[in-house]
Structure formats: C-alpha cells, structure tokens
Amino acid sequence: MTTADEARERAAEFKAVFARVKAEVAKMMVGQEHVVDGVLTAMMAGGHVLLEGVPGLGKTLLVRSLSEAVSLAFSRIQFTPDMMPADIQGTMVLTETAGGGHELTFQQGPLIANLILADEINRATPKTQSALLEAMQERQVTVGRRTIELEEPYCVMATQNPVEQEGTYPLPEAQLDRFLFKLVVGYPAEDEYHAILDRTTGADEVDIQPVTNGEEIRSLRNTVRSVAEPEAARTFAIRLVVATQPDNALAPSSVAECASLGSSPRGVQGLILAGKVQALLDDRFAVSTDDIRAVALPVLRHRILLNFRAQANNVSSDELVEDVLKSVKPPHAVAA
C-alpha cells in the first residue's frame, strides 16, 4: 500500500464516520442540516461550538443526540446566575472514609468529561464563565494545586439565547475567541414541522445508537490535521483574518468603520482546520480557497467586535464578514 492509498483510506473512513454520526443525529434532529454539519465539523476539527438561537429550536436536543451517537462522556451544565466556578470545575469536599474517618477529596465538576453541553452559558456570571477558559484552550482544569488533564476528545458545546438579555452576561471576548464556530440556529422550514411533530408527539421513541467512540474521533482528528494545505489556501485564510482587523490595509471600509476588534490568530487556525474537514468531505486531499470561504462565516462572525457605530446603524458582524469575503480575493485568482 502506497502512502497515497493510505491517505485515501483514511479520508474514506473519515467521510464514512461523519455520515454515520450525522445519520444518527438526524433521527432526532429534523432539518438544521447546516447546524448539524457545523457541530460535527467542529468536533472533528477539535474545536468548540457556540450555538445561538431562540428557545425551542433544538439546540440542546442536538448536542444531547450527538452525545448519544458518539459514545463519549457527556455532561450537561445548566448555567445559572448564582453558579460559581467550583460548581463546574470541582472542589475539595469532606468525605467519610470506610473506617469512620473523614478526608478531603477532590470532587470533579461537570467540566471534566468529553462532551460538555454548557446550556444557556450567558446566564452565568463572567466569573463562572471564565472557569471555562483554561479547559477550552489548554484541555486541563486547575483547582487549587491540582491540575487535571482532560481527556481527548474534548468538546464544549454552549448554547445561548440572543433574545432574553435580562439577567444575562455577554460572553467575554477571550471566551468567544475560543469557540471554533458560532452557529446560528434558525427556524425550521414549513415541511420540517411535520417530521418534528411525528417524532415528538407520536408514540414511537427514537433510539439513537452510538456509532463511534472517542478513540475513533481522536484518529479522525489526526486525519483532519494531515490534510495538505497549499500556499494559496493558507494565504487566503490569513488575508481574510487580517481583513477583519479595522486598522489593516486589507480591511474593507465597512470593517474599518464598524469594527473595533478583529479576529485573532485563532481565526486562521479555525479557518484552516475547518477547511480541511470541508476538503475531506468533498473528496479532496488538500484544502482549497473555496473550503476557506465556506467556513469563513461561522469561524469569523463571533471574533469581530462591533463598535458603537455598528450598533447604532444596526450593522451585524455577519455583514462585515460578507464584506470581507467580497473584498479579499484568493491569490492568483483570475476572472474567468
């Protein structure tokens, strides 16, 4: 077997597992195909996902279904305003020993798992939200003098409601930057409501079977990272990211006027990794500028901090990303 054949096999395996997981999730989740694809892409690329949508659209259901399909350690954290960092990281608790004695032992928080559903993450205080920073970036939790390495695959999937702003705390930029994707969950189409009613109001129960495990997902993540990245795709991703920075010469006028902060280097990493997943799904072994373009919106939309002018003019970060995509041309591009 040549090296190229090995690559082909790994790519085929990746695509097959991806399709299996997607099919299992689709048993429960009706529609929202781009959201499902985004969540799976982020999980395969090794990133975290922020799901934003109004209540009742199946954000929590999606993550819960995914946890059942991938056979990973799953924990759900319902964020509340009175939650403290120790509630999710863990703390020392006094326990009684078998001999009748007592001892202080470390009680792990729900953050220590493989797949984390951080539900309504913006309802917790920034103090508690900050407890996620170390876990999301460095894959470890430090409590006191104890540092706990988190097991791979580790994926945080957070949800937030953009409408109810009363009693919520917007996520700090440092935490937003740690999410690979921000996916906006919209309303289902009219014909999808029938399937939703069939699956939720009927007597039949949907049974989701695990189709993969953590070991396989770790292997698939290595496959993703092995995808070749040509210079053109890399240059295009870098140009896209620097074009979101308002002081950069590549930034379009709308970004210069309406953005106060642009994407960090994490944005380039996210573009390339997510683009590699897209290339594998498209039966290619090298990422292209089209792949970068396809994932630019979910990767960059939450990394652009809008200023007061943008808020006053009702300019969204999605529009700024669209402007960036229009203004930045791929290298060596020709108009056919």
Residue 142 interacts with other proteins (CB under 8 A)? no
Residue 207 interacts with other proteins (CB under 8 A)? no
Please say which residue, 12 or 206, places its beta carbon nearer to other proteins. 12
From the list 7, 61, 261, 306, which residue makes contact with other proteins (rule: CB under 8 A)?
A: 7
- Footprint on residues 286-305 left by other proteins (CB under 8 A): 286, 288-291
**Euclidean distance between CA atoms 257 and 307, whole angstroms:** 8
Residue 104 interacts with other proteins (CB under 8 A)? yes
Closest approach of Cβ 101 to other proteins, in Å? Answer: 3
Size, binding site for other proteins by CB under 8 A: 40
From the list 56, 82, 100, 191, which residue makes contact with other proteins (rule: CB under 8 A)?
A: 100
Piece of 50-58, 95-103, 123-131, 178-186 that binds other proteins (CB under 8 A): 95-103
**Euclidean distance between CA atoms 158 and 179, whole angstroms:** 9
Q: Which two tokens stand for residue 174?
A: 């440092």
140-143 and 146-149 beta bridge pairing: antiparallel
Please say which residue, 112 or 279, places its beta carbon nearer to other proteins. 279
Please say which residue, 102 or 127, places its beta carbon nearer to other proteins. 102
Closest approach of Cβ 292 to other proteins, in Å? Answer: 10
Piece of 27-35, 45-53, 101-109, 306-314 that binds other proteins (CB under 8 A): 101-109
What lies within 8 Å, CB to CB, of 128 at 6+ separation is: 79, 83, 84, 85, 87, 88
Residue 174: phi and psi, rounded to 5, are -65, -35
Piece of 184-192, 243-251, 255-263, 281-289 that binds other proteins (CB under 8 A): 281-289
Closest approach of Cβ 223 to other proteins, in Å? Answer: 9
Q: Which two tokens stand for residue 332?
A: 């060596």
- Footprint on residues 303-332 left by other proteins (CB under 8 A): 330-332
From the list 164, 173, 215, 283, which residue makes contact with other proteins (rule: CB under 8 A)?
A: 283
Q: Are 159 and 79 in contact (CB under 8 A)?
A: no
* 211-250 footprint of other proteins as x/- string (CB under 8 A): ---------------xxx-xxxx-----------------
From the list 61, 195, 285, 316, which residue makes contact with other proteins (rule: CB under 8 A)?
A: 285
What lies within 8 Å, CB to CB, of 41 at 6+ separation is: 181, 274, 277, 278, 295
Distances (CA, A) of 98 to 16, 92, 103: 49, 18, 10
- Footprint on residues 30-69 left by other proteins (CB under 8 A): none
48-52 and 155-160 beta bridge pairing: parallel
Q: Which two tokens stand for residue 104?
A: 């202080």
| Peptide bond connecting 153 to the previous residue in cis, omega within 30 degrees of 0 | yes
Q: In this structure, which amino acid lies at residue 123?
A: R
Closest approach of Cβ 231 to other proteins, in Å? Answer: 6
Please say which residue, 160 or 288, places its beta carbon nearer to other proteins. 288
Mark out the alpha helices in the chain (DSSP H runs): 3-28, 33-45, 59-70, 85-89, 126-129, 131-138, 173-176, 190-201, 214-226, 231-243, 253-258, 265-281, 289-300, 308-312, 317-327
Closest approach of Cβ 287 to other proteins, in Å? Answer: 8
Please say which residue, 65 or 289, places its beta carbon nearer to other proteins. 289
Instruction: Determine whether 55 is exposed, middle or buried from the number of CB atoms within 10 Å of its CB (0-12, 13-18, 19+).
Output: exposed
Binding residues for other proteins (CB under 8 A): 2-4, 6-8, 10-12, 94, 97, 99-104, 145, 226-228, 230-233, 282-286, 288-291, 330-334, 336
